[in-house]
Amino acid sequence: MDDLKRIKKEYGISRKTEIIDEIEEIKIDVKDTITKEDVIVVITHDGYIKRVSERSYLANNDLTGLKQGDNIISILNMNTLDTILLFTNLGNYLYLPVHEIPDLKWKDLGKHISNIIEISALEYLVDVIPIYDFNDNTILIFTKNGMVKRSKYEDFNVQRYSKPLCAIKLKENDEVISVVSEIGNEVFVATKGGYGLWYDLKEIPITKVRSSGVKSINLKNDEVVSGTIFNSNEEYISLFTNKGYIKRIKLKEMDKTSRSKRGLLILKQLKSNPMKVKKVFIVDSKNSVIIKTNDDDYVLKLTEISILDRYSIGSLINKKNINDVYLIKQLENKPKIKQEEVIEQKEIKEIQKEISLKEIDDIILTIDDNLYDYEDN
């Protein structure tokens, strides 16, 4: 004991740290814990979703694993730090970080979305919007009863996302028909009864997520089947009916008017053979579609569809009734910053790095000295 007291007296050092009865909160950015990786994300109409490595995707020439009768609604080249928004017919959206999507092989079926985020039995996926930057764009939501809502990406960004979130406040007996990202300035809405309305994107005000939106088209015993946004360089409207009649219409046959009108007739109706518009697309004619009937599905290139006037009934492509039509989705790549922007950003950073406050002061003093010399002379 005496030895310990002697050692303490000779070598003892006062405590350099302070013990306090307080716990400091440590905040960790979840993104810092995620492995950054480029992946391929596949989402199907029936609600199956998966992500696969680029290696698995490039190593396979075969079709990805799909349930019989199902089809792909989105195939995306994304990063594990990105986010996907999945919109449902009941006006909800599912916020899903890419790194939380099941990591599977290309030929695997995928995992149903209800096993990741629980949704209603009557709820199904309508559209998918990939998010690379929440400060980037706006989203348009079209409903069956003729409403449309436009909201900023950032309004869909949340911290808690374990359940479906409200994307649009729907009125009674209404449902979401289509959801699109702002990729152009032209809006086109088509109805089951054969009317089409073309107007400018600026006519849709930007509102918050929980709003009901505004009237897109004036309906008379009718309902919306398609809502889309497109660039002014598109030339054709591709129209599909439930009776198997299809056609392409030159866009210049339509008059661009304003929102909330009934629109113009895009399909002639015969009393002896009444038809309903099933789906309308305004996309590049290089695209192809999958046409679904009770017996089978078949692929059709848009360039194979006859170009007819808007008053015609179209050409009969199949005597079987068409249940639905889907665009065949190609791999959608992540937007890249233009090389000029990269160079400009790099130059700005280099300038900011090179010029210090002291150098600025020296420049100012030099200017002042020169001014004084000039005044003396």
Q: Does some domain include residue 353?
A: no
- 260 occurs within a structural domain: yes
Per-residue pLDDT of 280-331, as tens digits, reads 999 999 999 999 998 888 899 999 999 999 999 999 998 889 999 999 988 8
Provide CB contacts within 8 A for 352, sequence distance 6+. none
Number of CB atoms found within 10 A of residue 307's CB: 13
Measured CA to CA, the distance from residue 107 to residue 105 in angstroms comes to 6
- Is there a single domain that holds both residue 139 and residue 75? no
Q: Is 147 found in the same domain as 38?
A: no
Q: How far apart are CA 74 and CA 346, in angstroms?
A: 34
* Mean pLDDT within 10-36: 72
Question: What pLDDT, on the 0 to 100 scale, is given for residue 29?
Answer: 64
| pTM, entire model | 0.81
- Mean pLDDT calculated for residue range 27-49: 85
224 and 140 together in one domain: yes
**Quick one: 158 and 90 in the same domain?**
no
8 belongs to a structural domain: no
DSSP for 217-244, written as a single string = S--SS--EEEEEEE-TT--EEEEEETTS
Sign, CA torsion 7/10/16/18: positive
Q: Count the residues in the chain.
A: 377
Name the pairing type of β-strands 147-152 and 236-241: unpaired
Does residue 370 lie within any of the structural domains?
A: no
Average pLDDT over residues 173-188: 95
**Pairwise CA distance, residues 103 & 1, whole Å:** 63
Domain annotation covers residue 23 = no
Q: Name which residue leads in pLDDT, 367 or 120.
A: 120
Over residues 177-199, the mean pLDDT reads 96
Looking at residue 270, its pLDDT comes to 80
Last residue of a domain, one of 128, 163, 180: 128
Last residue of a domain, one of 94, 128, 162: 128
Q: What pLDDT, in 10s, does the model give residues 93-140?
A: 999 999 999 999 999 999 999 999 999 999 999 999 999 999 879 999
Q: How far is CA 232 from the centre of its chain?
A: 20
Is 238 found in the same domain as 97? no
Does any domain span residue 218? yes
Q: Given the structure tokens 């089951």, which residue do they identify?
A: 192
pLDDT at residue 13, rounded to an integer:
77
Q: Are residues 138 and 118 in the same domain?
A: no
239, pLDDT greater than 70: yes
pLDDT (0 to 100) of residue 374? 45
Q: Do 221 and 301 belong to one domain?
A: yes
Q: Do 155 and 214 have their domain in common?
A: yes
* Boundary residue ending a domain (71, 100, 128): 128
Mark whether 213 and 310 lie in a shared domain.
yes
278 and 291 part of one domain: yes
Q: Residue 297: inside a domain, yes or no? A: yes
CA pair distance 122, 48, nearest whole angstrom: 16
Structural domain for 108, as ranges? 30-128
Number of structural domains found in the chain? 2
Question: Do 239 and 148 belong together in one domain?
Answer: yes
Return the CATH number at 196: 2.120.10.90
Same domain for 123 and 144, yes or no, is no
Q: Could you tell me if residue 314 is inside a domain?
A: yes
Contact in structure between 63 and 297 (CB atoms under 8 Å): no
Structure confidence by residue, pLDDT tens digits, 197-229:
999 999 999 999 989 999 999 999 999 999 999
